[in-house]
Structure 1
């Protein structure tokens, strides 16, 4: 075609040099237009790169927030497992006897054995008892080379805070064991006097192992901004910024890190235009050592949890997106150039089209490989998310058990009274029976013995219900008599009802009702609902609770109404959310209703609430009705 065009030009007598000179102004205009287009493309490229990088940083920030939530949840769950245990152990007979006779070798040995067994049962690192002067009297590691027995730890905040304020919490590196741990301290009161402190130390290595990652960095800092938990071992016991004498003095005062050397991490911190906090190591390229920082405080432990995510991938992604856009723009410009060249010289059309076609095929092949790599990365991301969800479900299960242990901790003092009172009465009856037998008054003695047997039966029922409430239930469903679950919940909460002066009116109908569920988990639901109802009416004038049940078709409807203040309309939608509570700080974990909601849903039922028109809150529990042998019994 090019040859044909040249021949036509010669045959027509057209002077090609002259034609080319006439076309020069068009070339000049094209050059100016190209320069203008390049300037526009450069400006658009800068804007596109700016926006694309911001979007990539937003996605990176969201990923960091998710990771931060998981890390914080694992920390909170680990701490919640041991939160109430020091108070329970401090009230045990072996511990109280030790404080009364600290020099008795038999008492000390019994306390040591008890602490060792308790530490193994709880999975704690160490459990030990300190006298009021700070000297350790007994410890779970009494038979180990680095035993705490005889050591004085009065300088630790978990000791003097427990002695002064009734609770001690502290993270530190052990001065004897050189092992990191978190300490829970509780005072030991005997005969109205504060005689010592019981301490539980838990290991934190398992938490770090769960944070293993090749790219992001997870770390926890203390009030002095010193790293004590991290998935990077070389960052442990290092501080961000300069270690001033004041910071070192505050750390050495409590010997938080014992004899460990505190290092410094040199860094440059800045905030970009979008508000993202960026951390860069000095003397390095930005894309090689720059991190996006996501942080959240844990006020109850006075910690700050931080997640550092490398920005290299986000910057590369933004640059790649802009490059693709420029490539597409180049293709469009190339097509325009082809059209312009076609008008100038038809003979070059085939060559230019072939070149454009080759270039396009190369770019398509390149995009195909990139899409394949993106699909592989997406599959890896899906697998990672599934693993994260599995870890979250495991953490939620641990939080459920922690909530039950916290409830048992709250009931322990009152249940101790429930056991001690019948035991004292039984002793009196037994002594009277001995006197009556000596006087040959057998009928009266038999009456006393019958009373003793009745008290023992009552304590046996309470103990059995407590044991069933504390153990982990089987997940299989069975037929559950509703009346038995209600009676068990009443016996568990009888002490609270009596103490708060609350009256529970129960109406289960004339015919026995059976539901499909698990006896232990159904009992847990009823205990949670009744406990919340008692809290609602405890400070009110009308302290009545109404528990009613009736069968409606295939459902058994159970309603629990109180005469308390009810729940504000704006909070009803969140009442079943985990960790949400309308109670004061320190009264519950905010898990009771969330646990109950999930248990009922596992039963195939539904749990809802509303404010009663006449005042107070009303919870509606709907369960599947069951008749023998509708469900195969499972233990």
Structure 2
């Protein structure tokens, strides 16, 4: 064992002098430094590339969610005024004013339009005759009244007269304010009486967008900016217009005398579907790199563009990636340098020892002692490794046990929550049985005892289901008649909510309509939703919970709506997170378990809530019996 270093010594070391080894050592260190520099440079470059890609991916995911929310808000703003022209086109007072030559019907219509505007978000409502001249308007008493103005040149008037309805975004020629004009023809195509027009402005929406501090703008089919969080960008274009398009827009006076200049944004570089990188100059700032996300706006030919600043996020991500690379490479190269230094030092020692032949015996003894010490250190290190490994196994066992306890805690909490409903119902039936016994009414007592026996069987079923869930198992799904599941859920809640169960207004589905699932688990979902709705209405006048069923081509929708105070925003944002609840004694598991049950059967649960109430919609897969 002691002679192994001599046997494995390279031939070059045996014939090298200390001077040659010193020169060779310098060349090795020089090559090592060059290799270190190349590897670090390549790693830092790769880190920058990875950091940029990761940052853009994160921004794109977050931005897509924000853009979809903005589109949803814009659609909500658009849908409100669209019903007004439809209703007014069939209004008798509008027909009377258009058909009459007197002033009284027109004055009556003026006041009606004024009252409608004050109760909606519309900017102005007006009615024109078949010649395009406005005969009545909600601003009839203002100096800038639309009454008497000729709008026959407007595209929304011409298209409404031709096709019956139109929507047109333009700059008002009287108010000089931009907005969306929604129009509808009054009368038949053969004998039109006139057109009803509502103008919708977006000042509040643009103000809300500006608070987000991220440029947002909507463009039409020609690329002209219509709605924007940056006022100076209005009526600018995403790309230069053709001569023909520019002439058509100019002649229609759609955007007044706006120059229709191009936006201060460089041509986009595509990085994914509807995602681009651009250079943009915001008012009062320098050119900056943005991630531009685009999405179409349903029911319109418009497109929403959303700009997200990239430089801060990308720079931070690149710094993190570089730091991670350096913290990984530097220790590796430090260890390599240490080992290389030891290797070179060992070679130098061997060369010096070979020259001093007279000290060979002493050096051999010293070498033997060195190897012995190295062996002792190795044995000590091996012992340390074994001790560390044993400690690691103990820690791993403790982690496994802790994880097992956490899972058992969640299962126990789920069992407690799920059996709480039938237990509460059993208590109610038991109390009723005592009352009937005091009254010597035996038949109702037997009936309540039968109910209690059935509920105890249900508790056993629930615990078996939850134990199967803990074993990563589920009962086999099968066709379940939805009507029976709804009726069963109501039966379980009737005694617990005695006096309040009448608030449930259920439109039962037709017999035979079935969905994929198991009856017990579907009843659990329905009981959770019914109970939450009834508890939310506690103490409220005119409380009402509506349950409706709608059948589509592939699935069945069950909607549970209440007119309660709504779910607080802080709770709504993490509604399906375990132990998230606004109830003092609630566990926060009912909706989590309900969502998992519905997902097991290929469905989903949607929720909408505001100050007027809450609406849960269960989507279940339909099956034909």
Query: What TM-score, normalized by structure 2, do the two folds share?
Result: 0.54
In structure 2, the CA distance between the partners of 1:485 and 1:191, relative to structure 1 (3 Å rule), is farther
Question: What secondary structure, in the 3-state scheme, does the structure 2 residue paired with 1:307 have?
Answer: strand
Shift of 1:341: 5.6
- Verify the 8 A CA contact 1:294 1:307 in the aligned structure 2: yes
Equivalent residue number for residue 46 of structure 2: 47
CA distance in 2, matches of 1:520, 1:193: 48
Equivalent residue number for residue 35 of structure 1: 34
- Verify the 8 A CA contact 2:161 2:189 in the aligned structure 1: no
Q: Residues 140-539 of structure 1: matches in 2 within 5 Å? A: 140-189=138-187, 193-213=191-211, 215-271=213-269, 276-281=275-280, 288-328=287-327, 329-334=329-334, 336-337=336-337, 479=500, 481=502, 516=534, 522=544, 525-526=547-548, 529=549, 532=550
Q: Residues 86-165 of structure 1: matches in 2 within 5 Å? A: 86-101=85-100, 103-165=101-163
More deviation, 132-141/332-341: 332-341
Question: What secondary structure, in the 3-state scheme, does the structure 2 residue paired with 1:168 have?
Answer: strand
CA distance in 1, matches of 2:507, 2:263: 60
CA distance in 2, matches of 1:214, 1:485: 42
Shift of 1:42: 2.2
- Verify the 8 A CA contact 2:215 2:306 in the aligned structure 1: yes
List per-residue Cα deviations over 1:4-32 (Å, max 9, x = no partner): xxxxxxxxxxxxxx957742311211211
Shift of 1:305: 0.3
In structure 2, the CA distance between the partners of 1:270 and 1:191, relative to structure 1 (3 Å rule), is closer
- Verify the 8 A CA contact 1:486 1:523 in the aligned structure 2: no
- Verify the 8 A CA contact 1:478 1:516 in the aligned structure 2: no
In structure 2, the CA distance between the partners of 1:480 and 1:162, relative to structure 1 (3 Å rule), is farther
- Verify the 8 A CA contact 1:291 1:309 in the aligned structure 2: yes
Equivalent residue number for residue 57 of structure 1: 56
In structure 2, the CA distance between the partners of 1:300 and 1:252, relative to structure 1 (3 Å rule), is farther
Equivalent residue number for residue 383 of structure 1: none
Question: What secondary structure, in the 3-state scheme, does the structure 2 residue paired with 1:269 have?
Answer: coil
Extract unaligned runs of 5+ from structure 2: 1-16, 347-497, 509-530, 554-598
Question: What secondary structure, in the 3-state scheme, does the structure 2 residue paired with 1:262 have?
Answer: coil
Shift of 1:322: 3.6
- Verify the 8 A CA contact 1:188 1:198 in the aligned structure 2: yes
Extract unaligned runs of 5+ from structure 1: 1-17, 347-476, 488-513, 537-569, 579-590, 615-635
List per-residue Cα deviations over 1:536-582 (Å, max 9, x = no partner): 9xxxxxxxxxxxxxxxxxxxxxxxxxxxxxxxxx9x9568758xxxx
In structure 2, the CA distance between the partners of 1:486 and 1:62, relative to structure 1 (3 Å rule), is closer
In structure 2, the CA distance between the partners of 1:274 and 1:201, relative to structure 1 (3 Å rule), is closer
List per-residue Cα deviations over 1:109-132 (Å, max 9, x = no partner): 111111111110113110000111
In structure 2, the CA distance between the partners of 1:143 and 1:158, relative to structure 1 (3 Å rule), is same
Shift of 1:231: 1.2
- Verify the 8 A CA contact 1:98 1:107 in the aligned structure 2: yes
- Verify the 8 A CA contact 1:126 1:139 in the aligned structure 2: yes
CA distance in 1, matches of 2:345, 2:303: 70
- Verify the 8 A CA contact 2:603 2:619 in the aligned structure 1: no
CA distance in 2, matches of 1:215, 1:125: 26
Question: What secondary structure, in the 3-state scheme, does the structure 1 residue paired with 2:72 have?
Answer: helix
CA distance in 1, matches of 2:125, 2:160: 15
- Verify the 8 A CA contact 1:127 1:140 in the aligned structure 2: yes
Equivalent residue number for residue 518 of structure 2: none
In structure 2, the CA distance between the partners of 1:611 and 1:322, relative to structure 1 (3 Å rule), is closer
List per-residue Cα deviations over 1:215-248 (Å, max 9, x = no partner): 5211111111111211112212211222432231
In structure 2, the CA distance between the partners of 1:608 and 1:271, relative to structure 1 (3 Å rule), is closer
- Verify the 8 A CA contact 1:169 1:185 in the aligned structure 2: yes
CA distance in 1, matches of 2:619, 2:244: 55
CA distance in 2, matches of 1:520, 1:163: 46
**Backbone CA RMSD of aligned residues:** 4.1
- Verify the 8 A CA contact 1:269 1:277 in the aligned structure 2: no
Query: What TM-score, normalized by structure 1, do the two folds share?
Result: 0.53
In structure 2, the CA distance between the partners of 1:40 and 1:607, relative to structure 1 (3 Å rule), is closer
- Verify the 8 A CA contact 1:287 1:312 in the aligned structure 2: no
- Verify the 8 A CA contact 1:96 1:190 in the aligned structure 2: no
More deviation, 183-192/246-255: 183-192
List per-residue Cα deviations over 1:52-106 (Å, max 9, x = no partner): 21111111111221111011011101111222221112222321210111x3111
Find runs of 4+ consecutive structure 1 residues off by over 6 angstroms: 342-346, 482-487, 517-521
Q: Residues 545-584 of structure 1: matches in 2 within 5 Å? A: none
In structure 2, the CA distance between the partners of 1:171 and 1:333, relative to structure 1 (3 Å rule), is same
In structure 2, the CA distance between the partners of 1:44 and 1:610, relative to structure 1 (3 Å rule), is closer
**Structure possessing the higher radius of gyration over alpha carbons:** 2
In structure 2, the CA distance between the partners of 1:132 and 1:524, relative to structure 1 (3 Å rule), is farther
